[in-house]
Structure 1
Amino acid sequence: MTTPLQTRMALAEIPDRLEALRMANTPTNANRRTPDEPTPAAIVNTPNANGGGGLGMRVDNEANVVQGQDFVFSPLPSPDELVIRQRGRRRFTTTFSPDKPNGGGSGSGGSSMRSPFQRTPTKNLQLTSGMILRSSPRKRLTMGSTPPEPTPMETNSPIKIKSDLTKQLWPGTPIVKKLKMDDRPVGQTNTEVALPSLLQGLSQQQLIELIVNNVNNAGDEERLRRQLPTPDISALEQELQYAKRLIFKSLPTSRLCKKTDAAAYSKASMHLNEFKRVLQVQAKRLHDATHWDALVDYVSMAWQCVATTPNWESHAHNAVRRQCFKLLACSCYAAIKHGGMRLGQTRLESLERNLREWSKDYEDVLSCVNALQRTLSSRTSI
């Protein structure tokens, strides 16, 4: 039997022990507990120094009742907080927890550690009583009826889309149709310009194709052939005279310098080569066209132009001059051989007088004189 004194002493110690239990159950106090401080379980389970066993059991019951009242009156966490707690990585605590029936230890079966292979918990909507379940607008539209049939896309042309947009932006603006551009050449559509002016812009090959395509029969060709004139060599003469002027411009202008020595030749050598190139191109053009009468006239003109070029003191520097004379002599010989009496009596007699004068500049031109005499003699025999 316990005495009233022992009972009063035990009741006096209850508030202190209950406060120790609250401090032990708090996480912050549990983490800050010193090693010398006894755990709540040790305080409650320690028997009285006077040997009162029944008093220890009564204290345990009263502590459980007070602790239960604290949990009853504590507010419940919100569903969002529960989800956050379940999603976070929980640390294993060694303190006493009321969630674990076995007191919560390292070997307790009530451990709430989440496995890494466990699915992340979602928000439990059943925990909130006043929450109304809502769905997306697309889901509400498709729940009560079948999905609408897709409408076919209208393949409108860009011109129609542009016109529709213009009507929307400017309702009162009239739609102007794009004019169809004429792809024909300007020479065919521009009737205000004369035909000779248009023909001047065409190349030689274009003119040839234009004439040949318009010849339909032999009669047209014969009529066109009778109208063919002698090629005009005036344009060729101007080009050749321009190349000769460049030679004289390159010569020194000082009175103390000679215009036919090696120093002057070194300055004019480039222009001499250009003069020879122009002469070759022009003579070949008339030779390939088989205009023998025009070729004879060109030789007479070009020989005088070559003869007026500088005659250099060194024999080696006059190589370009001799090459030009040789080219003209060969062209004249080909014109006499292929042209023959078609060149005309007057042109052949004038050419014979010129060839005897040209022999002073270039002696090999006498071969042309022999060919000309054979042509004239054949005409006399006939």
Structure 2
Amino acid sequence: MTRSPATPLPPPKARRRLRETAALTQTQLADRVGVTPGTVRAWESGRTTPRGRKREAYAKLLKTLAEEETARQARQEQEKQEEQAKRNQEREQKQAQAQKQDQEGLREPELKPEPEPEPKPEPVALTPAQAFDALYAFSAPALVRQTFLLTGRREQARESVERGFQAAWERWPEVARDRDPVGWVRATAYEYALSPWQRLRPRHRHPEPPPADPGDRTLLNTLLRLPPRHRRTLVLYDGVGLDLPETAAETEASTPATANRLLRAREAVAGRLPALADPQVLHRRLAELASNERLRAAEPPTVRRGGERRARFWTRAAIAFTVALIGTTALTVRTAPTHYEPPVSPGQAVRGVPQRVAPGALSDEELELRQKLRDQLQDGPERLSPRLE
């Protein structure tokens, strides 16, 4: 059974434009689709993609907004044409009236318009590289500390944040227009840090030195014992300070499921560390744990160059793989047989056939018989006439 193709959706930029053109807020659109405003924000930023029935409802709503926008544009264009025709008519009437007044000598002299004030100089816009460097310098240190709470590994936290910023640099025009670019990078870094493939890396087999403080060491071990989804929810809500809908949108879960994960994570932490049962105390201890570690972040140009080198490497690898595939296909077509040759059936043993006897010397009787045959006539009437012996 084949699956029906998913309903196509416009790009994230077009989704936001359709909503804003229809004068709808994210909360209003979320109510019409049946999701949270944080989910709509994630859809419009491109961090997540709707699936299932929510995708169908979202696509249908966007199609309706697009049709309304088309009709509104056509109506505005018609109104603009009517207004232009009205202005042309008024201008013609004024010109005819002015000509009539000139002829009668009753027209007053025109006053010169006052000079318009000079426009103020606009602020200098930042280049994409400068904007990226400013975002990295502002948010990278905090993101490294937050990711350390998820992994318990300093180098892995730093590498995850760098990968998140490199992905943001590859899609910078989209990320720069996002309302929460730090959240975009944070979601990408968390996904990379909690990927199951991290366990297969050789570096994961060697543990890193634990925190020096016994309390920090116990808290970190407690966090690492939590399931990844519960740990991420706890760090986002009690560590970063996001509200419940935003946490649900970033973890791609419903609000009830996120609340359940948060309660279970708090119960697990409070069961081992009763002093952290208060959410305010837990928030303060998470901030202290992340701040006590000496975590470093690379310079912004280094991160940008690293992402560009990785993009070039994978592009060249894809080109090399494509060339190798084309060459292999051409060689196969060149050396493949052009006609069908049936396979030779395997031989079978045949039984019951007498063996061939090689010719040998004639016996006396055989020699006498051969001489007798040679002496007799082979043809002629004499052979046909019987005789008595």
Structure number, greater radius of gyration = 1
Q: Which has the higher contact order (CA 8 A, sep 6+)?
A: 2
- More helix per residue: 2
- Fold conserved (TM > 0.5)? no
Alignment TM-score, normalising by the size of structure 1: 0.17
